[in-house]
Structure 1
Amino acid sequence: MLRRYRYRLYPTEDQKTLIAQHLGCCRFVYNWALNRKNQAYHDEGISLSKYDLMKQLPALKAELPWLKEVNAQSLQQSIHHLFRAFTNFFEGRAEAPTFEKKRAPEQAFTVPQAYAVDFERGTVKLPKIGAVKVKYHRTFVGTTKSATVIRTSTGRYFLSIVVEDGRTPPPPADPVPDQTVGIDLGLAHYAILSTGDAVENPKYLRNAQQRLAVLQRRLARKQKGSKNRNKARLKVARCHQTIADQRQDFQHQLSSRLVRENQALAVESLNVDGMVKNPSLARAISDAGWGTFLAMLAYKCQEAGKPLLRVGMFEPSSKTCSVCGYRKADLTLKDRAWTCPDCGTTHDRDLNAAINIKNFALAGAERAEEPVDSLPMGRGMKQEAPCASGG
């Protein structure tokens, strides 16, 4: 089973320069390959393969000798990443690849092999960079695959290592109804469980909005290109990073607890990308980070051998009485509670939805046991997570 471990890197100033050089060269090769592929398609009507472009790399390095100063395999990986981006595009998982920007908030390059992890000394030896100090907060056992060096917008550095640990995830057990919990994600509460438990929404972005607005106004007043503007930019970026770290820690703790305490989970599939197009709710939905949370539940259930059941996003979970099955077609988003005209039961909207999500999922368990749609975890993940089969 492939797992990804992420550690904090502490490079020296000289090593930061070498890392920046690798980032720049890998970005250049990525953009060069994208341009060559686009030109060949538009001018000649041919589609260059990954290996067609890799065969052109030696000539490019002869023309631009500074490309020889970085790890050759990292340059090849840039082309590999480009073609993985095209695969995601053609399979409908992402937009078409675009040119990478020099000032992108987060940048990375990959070392596929020839690096050495040293837990005792707390270092990782990277080709053309040397031994870099690492904070190994946990060790691992297995065969190391690729390593990715990441630089964030706040100037922090991370090492992300893919490891084959030799384990096979256990097959999911059949769901036990009285040990299955339905989860309704929302904004007033982050989650309502079919047991009646409510998880408060921490609203990290909203709580930091005033502080963030002050920092952004200060940034807007700074002269472009000045050192003071860069300092102000870093303060804004660090504020955003703190919000992201808090949200991620909350999601990890909640998802781990739900998987640990229940035999099976039932969730509603959500089209988060479509939901954030609602201008009045976009910020709150983005702050909730439902997509990342569902992805955490998916891989943690897989590791634990527990079923993650799902129901379609168009199932009338809120409008259906969980007692008698009556469907209230005229229920609106403003209605937080309603009384069933058929059986007289008064429902809390979100609790009723959570109960129905559980019931719908169990009723169609054979169909619902497919895993939740894979969603990107993002480079901000601190805990280890299984890797997608694409790399």
Structure 2
Amino acid sequence: MRLAYQYKLLPSTLQLATMNRWLDMLRHQYNWMLADRFDWWEMNWCPVNACPLICSIAEPREQPEYYGQKRSLVTLKQDRPWYKEIHSQVLQDMVKRVKLAFDRYIKGDCNGKRSGKPRFKSANRYRSFTYPQASIDWIDGNKIELPKIGAVKVVWHRELPQGFEVKSAILSRKADGWYITLSLQDDSVPEQTIDVAPTWDNSIGVDMGLEHFAADSEGELIDYPRFLRQAESKLAKLHRKRDARPKGSIARKKLNQRIARLHQKIARQRHQFHCETANQLLSKADVIFVEDLSVSNMTKRCKPKQDEDGTFLPNGQAAKSGLNKSFADAGISQFVNQILPFKAERAGKRTMKVDPTGTSQHCCVCLNRVPKELSDRWHFCLECKAEMPRDTNSGVLIKKVGLGLASLKKAQRTSVRREARAVA
């Protein structure tokens, strides 16, 4: 079993300067190795097996790979002796990060899904380094002995579990200071296998939204506090103050730090709310059915509209921008894909995703189609006379679809319905 525990560090001034200097040197070497891989790929890779004689041919050289770049660290320390200050395993882990970022771009992950082109890291984007081989012996009272950094004070806000072995340690810089994440492993504890059969009594359906963050099939509506909206006035005030300061000044840097800490507070409030909501839902049932939402598609920009002369027409993007901000503020994707499954697994329960097609446009009682616009928040069926909040109706329908008691495979998607209305 593998766990991760994070604690806040209280480094001294000298230790703080050392860790910041390590980050800067690691970032520069990361960018150089990534550029070396890009250079070889652009100059030597070819999608065909032949080239015309008139094309320019780059001087052939070996392809940069993981072990070759690790061997180059020896030459790096000879040419630039200040890199000897960094722990050797920390440097090697930086090479591994380059390999993983480039492989995800070229080959994809285990599912074949490729990520975007890796970007070169600025000072604000390279924020952590890793000791791949940590040990429980590093811990001594309220301090942890980090190689080549020294004994650093730690805020042990909770005890480490007994019987677990410390495998690695990640030091990360955040808006309010430095943190250490200890990766713990205990081979004697098997990975938990969850095999809970869903029934009507031990399951609930949950509909995610913006007016109500979650609405379950039992009729309970959970509102979202809108942490970002509440802090918008403070953020705007800080941004105005920062923009009035000259670039590069100490006052501007301090205001940037205040803005970062405020954003960090909002993120932590959102995370805390998600954890509490997940525990509240898991206390009701053993199986939770949720919609398989693609939030990235829901927050896309509206397509531009043009008339016959090529003049751009209003396309509703101004209103859509506010909706996109509300989606980002709610953090629906983080809740459905990360926090809720994690909490369910720790509790020995299950989360199951359901196709969301038609769950908001059909009646949960008679399955009759009841068309509704986004502004229509009340469900009323003319066939069976059922009426309830729209989100509650969707929650009940999600539960029925998840249990196989209802099928909406023939339900028309939103784009098809819009086209049909346009034709009519």
Fold-level similarity (TM above 0.5): yes
- Cα 1:312–1:96 shift into 2, 3 Å: farther
Aligned match for 1:61, one of 69, 73, 77: 77
1:311 maps to which residue? 354
**How far 1:323 moved relative to its partner?**
0.2
User: 1:323-354, CA deviations, whole angstroms, 9 ceiling, x for partnerless residues?
Assistant: 011123x3211111132122121232111111
2:388 maps to which residue? 347
**Unmatched 5+ residue regions in structure 1?**
366-391
- Cα 1:284–1:177 shift into 2, 3 Å: same
In structure 1, how many angstroms separate the alpha carbons of the residues matched to 2:211 and 2:380? 20
1:283 partnered with 2:317:
no
- Cα 1:39–1:136 shift into 2, 3 Å: same
2:181 maps to which residue? 160
CA contact (8 A) 1:170 1:303 kept: no
Matched residue SS, 1:223: coil
RMSD between aligned residues: 2.0
Aligned match for 2:225, one of 192, 202, 207: 202
Aligned match for 2:133, one of 104, 107, 113: 113
CA contact (8 A) 2:136 2:165 kept: no
Taking the TM superposition and a 5 Å limit, the aligned residue runs for 1:1-391 are 1-45=1-45, 47-89=63-105, 90-91=108-109, 92=113, 94-104=115-125, 107-116=127-136, 121-138=141-158, 139-141=160-162, 142-152=164-174, 154-166=175-187, 167=189, 168-277=191-300, 278-294=320-336, 295-313=338-356, 315-328=357-370, 330-363=371-404
Matched residue SS, 1:261: coil
**How far 1:118 moved relative to its partner?**
5.8
In structure 1, how many angstroms separate the alpha carbons of the residues matched to 2:17 and 2:395? 52
**Unmatched 5+ residue regions in structure 2?**
46-61, 301-319, 407-424
User: 1:10-69, CA deviations, whole angstroms, 9 ceiling, x for partnerless residues?
Assistant: 111111011112211221222122111111112233753322221222122222221111
CA contact (8 A) 2:135 2:166 kept: no
Matched residue SS, 2:349: coil
In structure 1, how many angstroms separate the alpha carbons of the residues matched to 2:34 and 2:278? 38
In structure 2, how many angstroms separate the alpha carbons of the residues matched to 1:137 and 1:207? 29
User: With CA pairs under 8 Å and 6+ residues apart, which has the higher RCO, 1 or 2?
Assistant: 1
Segment of structure 1 superposing worse, 5-14 or 136-145: 136-145
- Cα 1:331–1:131 shift into 2, 3 Å: same
In structure 2, how many angstroms separate the alpha carbons of the residues matched to 1:263 and 1:348? 24
Given the two structures, how large is their TM-score scaled by the length of structure 1? 0.87
- Cα 1:363–1:137 shift into 2, 3 Å: same
Matched residue SS, 1:175: coil
CA contact (8 A) 1:322 1:355 kept: yes
User: 1:85-112, CA deviations, whole angstroms, 9 ceiling, x for partnerless residues?
Assistant: 23444243632211111133x6111111
Given the two structures, how large is their TM-score scaled by the length of structure 2? 0.80
2:317 maps to which residue? none
Segment of structure 1 superposing worse, 72-81 or 109-118: 109-118
Aligned length in residues:
361
**How far 1:305 moved relative to its partner?**
2.6
**How far 1:204 moved relative to its partner?**
0.3
% same residue: 32
Amino acid of the residue matched to residue 292 of structure 1?
Q
**How far 1:197 moved relative to its partner?**
0.8
Amino acid of the residue matched to residue 10 of structure 1?
L
**How far 1:286 moved relative to its partner?**
0.7
Amino acid of the residue matched to residue 161 of structure 1?
L
Segment of structure 1 superposing worse, 13-22 or 77-86: 77-86
In structure 2, how many angstroms separate the alpha carbons of the residues matched to 1:202 and 1:62? 56
**How far 1:119 moved relative to its partner?**
5.7
Segment of structure 1 superposing worse, 338-347 or 122-131: 338-347
Matched residue SS, 1:202: coil
In structure 1, how many angstroms separate the alpha carbons of the residues matched to 2:104 and 2:137? 31
Amino acid of the residue matched to residue 132 of structure 1?
V
